Amino acid sequence: MKEFLNEVDKLDIGKIVKDVFISKYTTYKVGGLVRAIIYPKNTDKLVLLCKLIKKYNIKYKILGNGSNLLFSDKTYEGVLIKLDEFNKIEFFDNKIVCGAGASLMKVARESIKRGLAGLEFATGIPGTIGGAVYMNAGAYKSDMGYVTRSVKVLTDDFKIITLTNEEMDFHYRSSFLQHHPNYICLEATIRLEKGDKNALEEVVKDRKQRRMKSQPLNYPSAGSVFRNPPNADPSGKLIEDIGLKGLTKGGAEVSEVHANFIINKNNASAKDIHDLILFVKDAVKDHYGIDLRIEQEFVNWE
């Protein structure tokens, strides 16, 4: 690892932050040490970095805004790559080209300011464009799949290719990238419709008020824990109806406000959150026979 990091430094790939707690970079505010977080300056440097990772056989992961991840408390013996420098947002009439590190909320807000419709669902989703495309993030019966025309990716053999919307194979909280975890999203092209700026702003204001009331936004979380199961009530209702709201493990709690959120109420460890998620999953299985799918990604638990 030392030799690898020296070479990253020598090649001027970008900022390196060493031996830092992942809890600073995740919305759950949990997670152990990581050997380094690297911020490549541009695509060429990212390609160089990926080649070095391969040469030294280093474990790695792309970290967006950490808003859908549950890292364990143990040290991640690898590196995280953050694409903060890939944050360009360019508008061409109703087409937007956004870097993978750009904030989804910012892209949505800027679009609405220009009277462009289609990203209203995204104004409350605290992810990056890369993380949103990977997850096919969505809300209010819409998602990235409805608005994304194409995605530029770096493949695992260091080629830069563009995948069409069809090739991205977007489904409910699922995309092509989840089945190709070594591909890196560099950029997404989004196409929106012309709309009425004031009407769009009203929709967003109304939804914001609803979110503030219905979600525990004053505590660290990673949004919905479980996907909604097909042909059944939403996960939150299933959990609430078996009386699990307010249940705690250590500092983690099934939110009193929304049962599909687990919050870091009081200095929870990653293990507290992990154990509570699995407890709720088992309880729902026992009670209804429904095997809920976890929407959040567990990292470094093996």
Ligand X SMILES: Cc1cc2nc3c(=O)[nH]c(=O)nc-3n(C[C@H](O)[C@H](O)[C@H](O)COP(=O)(O)OP(=O)(O)OC[C@H]3O[C@@H](n4cnc5c(N)ncnc54)[C@H](O)[C@@H]3O)c2cc1C
- CA angle 140/255/22 to nearest 5° reads 90
Active site residue 109: no
- Residues 36 and 63: their CA atoms lie apart, in Å, by 12
Query: Is 157 exposed, middle or buried (CB count within 10 Å of its CB: 0-12, 13-18, 19+)?
Result: exposed
φ, ψ (nearest 5 deg) of residue 46: -65, -40
Q: Compute CA 33 distance to the chain's CA centroid, rounded to the nearest angstrom.
A: 20
- Nearest approach, Cβ of 139 to ligand X (angstroms)? 4
Give me 139's structure tokens.
């809300």
Region near ligand X per CB under 6 A, out of 31-39, 65-73, 190-198, 231-239: 65-73
107 counts as binding ligand X under rule CB under 6 A: no
- CA angle 299/293/280 to nearest 5° reads 90
68 counts as binding ligand X under rule CB under 6 A: yes
Region near ligand X per CB under 6 A, out of 88-96, 177-185, 240-248, 249-257: 177-185
Instruction: List the one residue from 23, 43, 67, 300 that touches ligand X (CB under 6 A).
Output: 67
- Nearest approach, Cβ of 267 to ligand X (angstroms)? 18
Closer to ligand X at the Cβ: 5 or 222?
A: 222
Closer to ligand X at the Cβ: 4 or 183?
A: 183
Please list the residues that pair with 138 across neighbouring strands: 143
φ, ψ (nearest 5 deg) of residue 164: -75, 170
- Nearest approach, Cβ of 10 to ligand X (angstroms)? 25
- Nearest approach, Cβ of 159 to ligand X (angstroms)? 15
Instruction: List the one residue from 37, 52, 62, 283 that touches ligand X (CB under 6 A).
Output: 62
72 counts as binding ligand X under rule CB under 6 A: no
223 counts as binding ligand X under rule CB under 6 A: yes
64 counts as binding ligand X under rule CB under 6 A: yes
Region near ligand X per CB under 6 A, out of 51-59, 130-138, 236-244, 279-287: 130-138
Instruction: List the one residue from 139, 160, 257, 294 that touches ligand X (CB under 6 A).
Output: 139
Q: Compute CA 279 distance to the chain's CA centroid, rounded to the nearest angstrom.
A: 23
40 counts as binding ligand X under rule CB under 6 A: no
222 counts as binding ligand X under rule CB under 6 A: yes
Instruction: List the one residue from 1, 7, 17, 27 that touches ligand X (CB under 6 A).
Output: 27
65 counts as binding ligand X under rule CB under 6 A: yes
- Residues 118 and 147: their CA atoms lie apart, in Å, by 7
Site for ligand X in 274-293 (CB under 6 A): none
Active site residue 173: yes
Active site residue 166: no
- Residues 7 and 1: their CA atoms lie apart, in Å, by 10
Give me the catalytic one of 120, 187, 253, 295: 295
Please list the residues that pair with 116 across neighbouring strands: 194
Give me the catalytic one of 67, 173, 175, 253: 173
134 counts as binding ligand X under rule CB under 6 A: yes
Per-residue H/E/C for 184-233? EEEEEEEECEECCHHHHHHHHHHHHHHHHHHCCCCCCCCCECECCCCCCC
Footprint on this chain of ligand X (rule: CB under 6 A): 27, 61-69, 83, 100, 124-128, 130-132, 134-135, 137-139, 177, 184-185, 217, 221-223, 297
